[in-house]
Structure 1
Amino acid sequence: MQSSRQDDESWTVASAKAKLSEVIERAQSAPQTITRNGKPSVVVVSAEEWQRKTARKGTLAEFLMESPLRGADLDLERQHDEPRDPAL
């Protein structure tokens, strides 16, 4: 019997539903793509991988200080329009 998965890391929605435990187990070592109508729809990753990818890597101030545009002497002009009516 042939698997409905496209490869070791890609699953159809139906096969992912039928074998959710296996999808979760495999996601511990590699991201698992779930396809819908033949197109990638979602990716299942381990909680550890998710934390690593979404962890803050410094403050906004540090990000701005390291910007390649810092010291570029950009001439940014602020618009001085009238405030908009919040009732609209």
Structure 2
Amino acid sequence: MSTWPVQDAKARFSELLEACMSEGPQLVTKRGAEAAVLVDISEWRRLREAARPSLKDLLLAPAARGDLQIPKRGVAKRRPLELS
């Protein structure tokens, strides 16, 4: 993975983009600290899809995803049972 200072990344963005598409992810630094990574769109989609939990994982998770607010039963009277 190549490293680009933010000033170079701004000045030579099309070169940075070409390097990303041909060589792989490119790291951008700001004042010497890692700030961002430019990746190809297909790699981004693959990573995003891999990060999503499956329905099976959600259903088998030990903790609930949210609390359900179940209302209390009403006190309304039931209709009488009609015997035929």
**TM-score between both structures, scaled by the size of structure 1:** 0.57
- Alignment identity in percent? 30
More helix by share: 2
Whole-Å separation in 2 of the counterparts to 1:65 and 1:24: 40
After superposition, the Cα gap between the structure-2 partners of 1:58 and 1:36, relative to the gap in structure 1 and judged at 3 Å, is closer
Partner of 2:26: 32
Ranges in structure 1 where 5+ consecutive residues have no aligned partner: 1-7, 70-88
**TM-score between both structures, scaled by the size of structure 2:** 0.60
Give the drift of 1:64: 3.8
Match of 2:10 among 5, 8, 17: 17
Moved over 6 A (4+): none
Whole-Å separation in 1 of the counterparts to 2:12 and 2:60: 46
Which whole-Å deviations, capped at 9, do the CAs of 1:2-55 have from their partners, x for residues lacking one? xxxxxx610001110111011101111311111001000010001111011101
How many pairs were matched up?
A: 62
Ranges in structure 2 where 5+ consecutive residues have no aligned partner: 63-84
Whole-Å separation in 2 of the counterparts to 1:48 and 1:16: 21
Q: CA RMSD in A?
A: 2.5
The answer to which structure, 1 or 2, has the higher relative contact order (CA under 8 A, 6+ apart) is 2
Task: Write out aligned runs for 1:1-88 (5 A).
Answer: 9-28=2-21, 29-55=23-49, 59=54, 61-64=55-58
